[in-house]
Structure 1
Amino acid sequence: MTERATLTYERYLPWKRWAEAGFWVAMIGANCIANSITTLMDFRRGESGVQAWEPAVWEASSAVMWLLVVLPAMAWFTRRFPFLWGDWRRQMARYVGASLVVCVVHVVGMVALRILAYRLQGMSYDFGPWPRELFYEYLKDIRSFAYIVLTMEAYRLLLRRWQGEASLLAEPDEGPPLEPVDQPDRFLVRKLGRDFLVAANDIEWLQAAGNYVNLRVRGHDYPLRSTVAGIQARLDPRRFARIHRSYIVSLDQVVSIEPLDTGDARVHMKDGSALPCSRRYRQDLRQRTGAEAA
């Protein structure tokens, strides 16, 4: 079951960006069409003079802002600051603040697009009193914001369960541990309800990803809830080295170090990866690996 899940995940990876983009385009596009139709029907019942194209412009301008501006920004924000219930008060304040920024950006861009569309029709667009209308839009946007955050986090959780999520071995309830837990020789990986162990020697490199650190093992990434500094303190310093604020490498996996004109370097690994190396770590890495310049 685990091997089949791994194969399915690998087959999904080339289509991952297309699937993610397609999902949001379909969801927001369907919402845009449905809202345009129902808004026009409401105006027609009231015998309003609103033309048929106007509700379409209103909804399309909103959808364009969500798809091209707001969603990419929210994807970055939720990766950079994932919601953690352990510090929920500060997290809630941060996310409420983000929702306010999202609303302002969404509304300003939306209104600008509507003004442009109306001018092309030889008409003028009136958004109405800004304080009142902005508050009205925020009441709608905060619900969309919460839905999007929940959807993104649920999707990332599914991906972590699908590809496998690593954790440090814990102290046993009784008796001494069979191996050191301060610098563990193995990591526990859970994938789709099954557990298996990954040897620390098999880790090729590690990369920070928000509140996770991805362990690279034989072409697979296993997210571990930690910071780079936190996991660095748990790894054997004789076998692993920090090369960047976001990267740690296994010294045995380094092939060469390519100096760059900026003073930084590029570290070439046995798996074919080329990782960034900051100038502050470059000399130490060369001394520890004995690697020649590429």
Structure 2
Amino acid sequence: MNSGEPSLYQRYLPRRRSFEVGFWVFSYLASAIGNSITANMDVQRLQLGFTTWQPAVWEASSALMALLLVPVVAWFTRRRPLHLDNWQRMLPLHLLGSVAWSLLHVVGMVAIRKAVYASQGLHYEFSPWWWEFGYEYLKDMRSYAGIVLTIEGYRFILRRLQGEASLLDAPDDGAPLEPVERPERFLVRKLNREFLVAANDIEWLQASGNYVNLRVRGHDYPLRSTIAGIEAKLDPDRFARIQRSFIVNLDQVASIEPLETGDARVHMKDGANLPCSRTYRGGLRQRIATDA
């Protein structure tokens, strides 16, 4: 499972943030330029009497506000991810999300347009507002759906490159080979490969939205679960909660560093430094001393 050569995912990680920001900036910049050109062509063809800068302001203000709202959608989809197995339950929430997104988008772009128009001694009209908002929402609903699908599709690809863990299912017939309530192994899917990871090989776990990342020999494998849900399935003699978002394998703890705040820093044998809240600090020190 550990080949000394860094995987495609590991090589991509240092460039991930630059790629993500660059993708959205380029997408909306290209959209604003392209739409401005076609809008000006329509203005000239229909002889509407607008100057060249006006369509450019319309498209640039819309693209700028949409770009600024992408992180909001990314945050919302982390809290309420949309997948094939939950889309019916999540769809109403995302419909409400599209309305909120459209309101923010419209308010922001109208404010920008009014400011630019005022600087030119003109007045930008957005009325009747209910009619104009309805028109904009029909477009924004599709834009919101496109952003959500792009983000979820991108995350799906990352999980496949990274490797995604799942609990072993109980067999259709007969008794399971190991306890389903407290599994000894996890199934990991990585691209077209499948392999088993022993629960005892997990060094630590970190909550990440609707997933929990299992840290195994320098690799993170996301598991669809809550931190409390997976904690209940791990061996309590071997694993301990150290913070709201972290669980550690006690055998992988190198040392505990007390902090002046009353919290602690847990140094793992793999070199990671994890936060330990004061709530769990005393119990962790006692368990480490007992195990030693």
Aligned to 1:8: 8
Q: Which moved more, 1:101-110 or 1:76-85?
A: 76-85
Q: Secondary structure at the match of 1:280?
A: helix
Aligned to 2:246: 247
Aligned to 1:114: 113
Q: Distance in 1 between matches of 2:267 and 2:249?
A: 12
Evaluate the alpha carbon distance shift between residue 151 and residue 5 of structure 1 in structure 2; reply closer, same or farther with a 3 A threshold. farther
Q: Distance in 2 between matches of 1:29 and 1:214?
A: 35
Aligned to 1:101: 100
C-alpha distance after superposition, 1:99-136 (max 9, x if no partner): 11101111111111112222232322222321111111
Q: TM-score, normalised by structure 2?
A: 0.92
Q: Distance in 2 between matches of 1:115 and 1:257?
A: 57
Q: TM-score, normalised by structure 1?
A: 0.92
* Kept in 2: contact 1:66–1:106 (CA 8 A): yes
Amino acid at match of 1:111: V
Evaluate the alpha carbon distance shift between residue 97 and residue 254 of structure 1 in structure 2; reply closer, same or farther with a 3 A threshold. same
Q: Secondary structure at the match of 1:172?
A: coil
Shift of 1:164: 0.8
* Kept in 1: contact 2:206–2:212 (CA 8 A): yes
Amino acid at match of 1:101: A
Evaluate the alpha carbon distance shift between residue 35 and residue 16 of structure 1 in structure 2; reply closer, same or farther with a 3 A threshold. same
Q: Secondary structure at the match of 2:203?
A: strand
Correspondences of 1:195-274 after superposition (within 5 Å): 195-274=194-273
Shift of 1:254: 1.7
Q: Distance in 2 between matches of 1:4 and 1:249?
A: 25
Evaluate the alpha carbon distance shift between residue 16 and residue 278 of structure 1 in structure 2; reply closer, same or farther with a 3 A threshold. same
Aligned to 1:284: 283
Q: Distance in 2 between matches of 1:154 and 1:78?
A: 12
Q: Distance in 1 between matches of 2:4 and 2:80?
A: 32
C-alpha distance after superposition, 1:120-176 (max 9, x if no partner): 323222223211111111100000001111111111111111111111122233443
Aligned to 1:58: 58
Q: Which moved more, 1:40-49 or 1:145-154?
A: 40-49
Q: Which moved more, 1:19-28 or 1:221-230?
A: 19-28
Evaluate the alpha carbon distance shift between residue 132 and residue 200 of structure 1 in structure 2; reply closer, same or farther with a 3 A threshold. same
Q: Distance in 1 between matches of 2:54 and 2:2?
A: 52
Shift of 1:2: 9.8
* Kept in 1: contact 2:211–2:222 (CA 8 A): yes
2:191 aligned with 1:192: yes
Evaluate the alpha carbon distance shift between residue 118 and residue 125 of structure 1 in structure 2; reply closer, same or farther with a 3 A threshold. same
Q: Distance in 1 between matches of 2:289 and 2:60?
A: 59
Evaluate the alpha carbon distance shift between residue 88 and residue 53 of structure 1 in structure 2; reply closer, same or farther with a 3 A threshold. same
Shift of 1:4: 10
Q: Distance in 1 between matches of 2:254 and 2:24?
A: 41
Gaps of 5+ in 2: none
Q: Distance in 1 between matches of 2:146 and 2:126?
A: 26
Evaluate the alpha carbon distance shift between residue 5 and residue 170 of structure 1 in structure 2; reply closer, same or farther with a 3 A threshold. farther
Amino acid at match of 2:40: L
* Kept in 1: contact 2:2–2:217 (CA 8 A): no
Q: Distance in 2 between matches of 1:21 and 1:243?
A: 33
Amino acid at match of 1:264: D
Q: Distance in 1 between matches of 2:80 and 2:134?
A: 26
Amino acid at match of 2:148: V
Shift of 1:93: 1.6
Provide the identity percentage: 63
Evaluate the alpha carbon distance shift between residue 59 and residue 22 of structure 1 in structure 2; reply closer, same or farther with a 3 A threshold. same
Aligned to 2:70: 71
Amino acid at match of 1:19: F
